[in-house]
Amino acid sequence: MEKFGGKLSIIFNKSLEEVRNELMRIPSIGPKTADILLLMVTNKPMIPVDTHIMRVSYRLGFTVKGAKYEVISNKAY
């Protein structure tokens, strides 16, 4: 609240990577939540990776089983 004055719109004008990193500096916001915010609020080209997307990516051979969120999300876009 103090850093952004209660408005996240201040950071949404930065590059995709900068916005994502800035969001993840907020306590309790991880990669998936940041990706969802980027997709839903800013229409940035993000694909939030949930359990189902992970399973499909393993089965289609896009990633190896046990790959981390970041690896799967980077291959999704």
What local confidence, expressed as pLDDT, does residue 30 receive? 92
pLDDT value of residue 6: 76
Which tens digit of pLDDT belongs to each residue from 11-41?
888 888 888 899 999 899 999 999 998 889 8
Round to whole Å and give the CA distance between 12 and 71.
23
CB distance 60 to 52 below 8 Å: no
